[in-house]
Structure 1
Amino acid sequence: MMRHLGLLQRLSRREFIRLTGQIVNMSTRTSKIAVCQMTSVADKDTNMNIVSQLVRDAAKEKVQMIFFPEACDYISDNKDDIVRNADPIPDGKTITNYRELAVKHNVWLSMGGIHEKNESDPTKMFNTHVIIDNKGQIVQAYRKLHLFDVEIPEKKVRLKESDFSHAGGHIVSPVDSPIGKIGMAICYDLRFPELSTALSILSAEILTYPSAFTKATGEAHWHTLLKARAIENQCYVIAAAQVGQHNAKRQSYGHALCVDPWGEVLADCGDSAPCFKVAEISKDRLLDVRRNMPVFHHRRRDIYSLNLLSIRKSPLPLHKGEKVQTESRTQYSEYSGPTNVFGHVKVPESCVFYKTKYSYAFVNLRCVIPGHVLVAPLRVAERNQDLTVEEAADFFNAVRLVQKLMEQVHNAQSCTVTIQDGPDAGQTIKHLHCHIMPRKKGDFIENDLIYLELAKHDQFKSGHPSKPPRSREEMETEAKTLREEMEKLLTKQKSAQMK
């Protein structure tokens, strides 16, 4: 021990600081990041040169990850140029250059919102946040969920992202990185706390908001919102930013920030560009905050919760360079064996629990509530008015019988019985069908919210239904039980008629 003390006494001040600093970093498990700020213009080469310069300079600071703002590839002032200049992922010129930078400088990159070409719709693109590792591989990509659509005619303000961009369809599970688990978002997503809460529940340690906040909204809300997201989720927040005048129509606020889980601002780029600031991410700091203020342990999950999350963990096949198959809208496409026609899909016979001459009843692939089943005519009749007199009588008798069965099985005294008759009523499968849902007091905070959930449940057009499909085994088990209960009910009714 004395020998080691003597060694420390002989060290120079600089060597002592370096050695003890390394010991502190080892004990606190810190990592270094750089948060960047720039003023993108319409010229992609100009912006690429700035990104390259920032990566080169920040890498000299021994950072492990560098964060860039939304639209780091370009900002144009008209819809046509915005869409035309978009590049595909993963092999477009822009993303290829970013991947090469990551390898050259041995750093991870968060490219905060690049214009991704939409191969299936040439009139619009995706605003896509891409994380690239130090080997140049695309680890994950997130498409912006919330599109900034603002129109104030009296102030001559009109900025509608939906004019040129498609919204994404998933929350992306936090990404494992050298600095911690990263929750991905983009700019306007910052105003929706449900997203950040969902990410923190999914174990995010860092929330990212690469942005191009307008000057007016930035001055009013930028710091407040970012600090709020950090404090309420007990996460680090890293928000790279655009700043300054991009063109005659567009000006951004700046102030790229890194905020710690207690709400302390660790780095602020102010209104300078191009520039970056270095900040340290401490795992121990995060754990201390969460231990001392255990808000997530105090959440009343028995009272409220986040439901109907559409979460994606794996990268999209397109972003991995795989051939993309056209997404099927067939509910039961994985099933084989005897089936029944239901519009453009097939319902397995094993999922049917009641059948008459003209109608059949079957269990649901995605249920709004337990006991949610369907009744449909055997013939593909699109609307109620398309049924013959005989079919209509049989169909509605079947509905009445199935309703009685479901109330009996689920010990309910009420049912929501509804038909979405035509596209303007919410019909997404062109085959008449009746939803039967046994109801109990308090199953929805407001009774009519069941119709909102029904609308979410039936989102086959978007390709992103809000509820996950049930397993075949679960559906067949339910159908078997209902067939047995239906036989008992029919036997009971027949006995009553004979008396």
Structure 2
Amino acid sequence: MSTLVRIIRQSILVSNHTQLRRMFGQSSTIAVGQMRSTSDKAANLDQVRELVARAKSRNACMLFLPECCDFVGENRDQTLEFSEGLDGELMAQYRELAKGNEMWLSLGGVHEQNEQGKIYNTHVLVNEKGELAAVYRKLHLFDVSTKEIRLRESDTVSPGDSLVRPVNTPTGQVGLQICYDLRFAEPAVMLRKMGAQLLTYPAAFTYSTGKAHWEILLRARAIETQCFVVAAAQQGWHNKKRQSWGHSMIISPWGKVLADCGCEELAIGTAEVDLSVLQNLYDSMPCFEHRRNDLYTLTAYNVPSAEPAQDRPFASNIVDRRTIFYESEHCFAFTNLRCVVTGHVLVSTKRVTPRLCGLSVAEMADMFSTVCMVQRLLEEIYQTTSATVTVQDGAQAGQTVPHVHFHVMPRRYGDFGHNDQIYVKLDERAEEKPQRSIQERIEEAQVYRNFLTDKS
């Protein structure tokens, strides 16, 4: 297991008591910062220290900093030269700053070195112990030409490959995004579906696009997701070629602006976040209950699994949660009682329904996405390049458990004398294969779960 994963797990454990208190309705003070980064990393760090001090003086439990809080390079070569890994000296100073002030820090977008000769635009959460709590790499890169600007972020930055599940913090479940991600409503909705109560959009919005769209987009994201929105911003001229709009904001789930830092170069805004208002809003305007999942849906791919929360029904049977190695919104994957080949696992819907034709659009999309993810997982673990993926839909098709499920079976060269013999063995396994022990299945599930955790 990687050091980063261990740090994140420890962070979740040590902060659990505080998180539970916040989750049950107590309000907290948060702060949003505004600054003007340049290519002077030391001066930028001094600005961050000042913002932390101001947030501390207002009893904020969490400070949100803007994108490029580490620096804004003069050119591509300088940006690559100045970037660091997450184990670098600058991150160590941020972590010490959080620990010394017992405050969570949202580092809205630092330049993270990668192995592709570029960087990631990386949003890092640091908890009050100075530990990394989450890492999100920007998905959408700002390659845009207008009358006023021309920027190609992809010349320097590699895109991230996954959303990050909302993170437990003293101010609730926080969903992480960065700048240009604001223009895409889909990730915001998916984060809300995964439990986000607050969305954050640290940014260095250009002056022209910020003037036209910044507040409108932020309020739209708050209203459509019914989440608090926090958007820390850069402000002013970073160099001769680049100017940012400013107006760091905190916005309520109703779309009301609770704090606005305006055009100040170095500023802090604060607001009380009371999570108890969310349930009242959900009850009075239950938008997410009214979504037509029978007609349309959004499914996030490549998102780390939540920990299995409970045993799951499988028709009239019960699947022990310890044998479940992956859960998505509507599906779960678990180790098999009788295997045709090594690595033979099952993927089923959480809702008990006998046939594929009984699934909603949301369940269909989630099921196929989960099956593809599981197939990729097994092929990586077992070093195979093929798989048999099958569903027996109805009794005459060989279905013995009346609950929609897929069989995913990694294949090896020559594993059956006749390739299609696998289907015969699938039908015969109940008579020919002894049941595996619960311990064997639990241990196998843990191998898969560890693999998924290490990759994330």
Give the corresponding residue for 1:263: 255
Give the corresponding residue for 2:91: 95
Give the corresponding residue for 1:325: none
Secondary structure of 2:408 counterpart:
helix
Is 1:132 equivalent to 2:65 in the alignment? no
Secondary structure of 2:288 counterpart:
coil
Write the distance in 1 (CA, Å) between the matches of 2:161 and 2:47.
31
User: Offset at 1:94?
Assistant: 1.1
Is 1:35 equivalent to 2:32 in the alignment? yes
Q: What TM-score do the two structures reach when normalised by structure 2?
A: 0.65
Is 1:162 equivalent to 2:168 in the alignment? no
User: Offset at 1:77?
Assistant: 2.3
User: Offset at 1:486?
Assistant: 11
Query: Which residues in structure 2 correspond to 1:219-238 (within 5 Å)?
Result: 219-238=211-230
Secondary structure of 1:220 counterpart:
helix
User: Offset at 1:307?
Assistant: 2.5
CA gap of 1:349–1:55, structure 2 versus 1, over 3 A, is same
Query: Which residues in structure 2 correspond to 1:200-239 (within 5 Å)?
Result: 200-239=192-231
Pairing partner for 2:188 from 181, 196, 206: 196
Letter aligned with residue 181 of structure 2: D
In structure 1, the gaps of 5 or more residues are: 1-24, 315-347, 352-362, 367-409, 412-439, 445-454, 464-468, 488-499
CA-to-partner distance for each residue in 1:387-414, whole Å, 9 max, x for gaps? Answer: xxxxxxxxxxxxxxxxxxxxxxx99xxx
CA-to-partner distance for each residue in 1:234-288, whole Å, 9 max, x for gaps? Answer: 0000000001111111000000000000001000000002110111101112222
Is 1:114 equivalent to 2:75 in the alignment? no
Give the corresponding residue for 2:101: 105
Letter aligned with residue 98 of structure 2: A
Superposed CA RMSD: 3.9
- Contact 1:148–1:160 (Cα < 8 Å) also in 2: yes
Pairing partner for 1:244 from 222, 236, 242: 236
Secondary structure of 2:250 counterpart:
strand
Q: What TM-score do the two structures reach when normalised by structure 1?
A: 0.59
Secondary structure of 2:278 counterpart:
helix
Pairing partner for 2:423 from 479, 482, 486: 482
Secondary structure of 1:96 counterpart:
helix
- Contact 1:70–1:241 (Cα < 8 Å) also in 2: yes
User: Offset at 1:45?
Assistant: 0.3
User: Offset at 1:308?
Assistant: 4.9
Letter aligned with residue 111 of structure 1: L
Letter aligned with residue 133 of structure 1: N
Give the corresponding residue for 1:80: 77
Is 1:61 equivalent to 2:58 in the alignment? yes
- Contact 1:126–1:166 (Cα < 8 Å) also in 2: yes
- Contact 2:36–2:266 (Cα < 8 Å) also in 1: yes
- Contact 1:365–1:470 (Cα < 8 Å) also in 2: no
Secondary structure of 1:69 counterpart:
strand
Sequence identity of aligned pairs in percent?
Answer: 42
Write the distance in 2 (CA, Å) between the matches of 1:281 and 1:50.
25
- Contact 1:39–1:243 (Cα < 8 Å) also in 2: yes
User: Offset at 1:310?
Assistant: 2.0
Write the distance in 1 (CA, Å) between the matches of 2:425 and 2:60.
65
Q: Aligned residue pairs: how many? A: 329
Letter aligned with residue 57 of structure 1: R
Write the distance in 2 (CA, Å) between the matches of 1:350 and 1:28.
49
Write the distance in 2 (CA, Å) between the matches of 1:277 and 1:137.
25
Is 1:254 equivalent to 2:236 in the alignment? no
Letter aligned with residue 95 of structure 2: R
Q: Which has the larger radius of gyration?
A: 1
In structure 2, the gaps of 5 or more residues are: 1-21, 307-338, 348-354, 362-371, 381-386, 391-405, 412-419, 429-456
Write the distance in 1 (CA, Å) between the matches of 2:166 and 2:257.
22
Letter aligned with residue 61 of structure 1: R
Is 1:70 equivalent to 2:67 in the alignment? yes
CA gap of 1:266–1:103, structure 2 versus 1, over 3 A, is same
Write the distance in 2 (CA, Å) between the matches of 1:308 and 1:70.
24
Query: Which residues in structure 2 correspond to 1:55-454 (within 5 Å)?
Result: 55-89=52-86, 91-118=87-114, 120-121=115-116, 123-152=117-146, 155=147, 157-312=149-304, 350=341
Write the distance in 1 (CA, Å) between the matches of 2:129 and 2:29.
18
User: Offset at 1:471?
Assistant: 9.5
CA gap of 1:177–1:69, structure 2 versus 1, over 3 A, is same
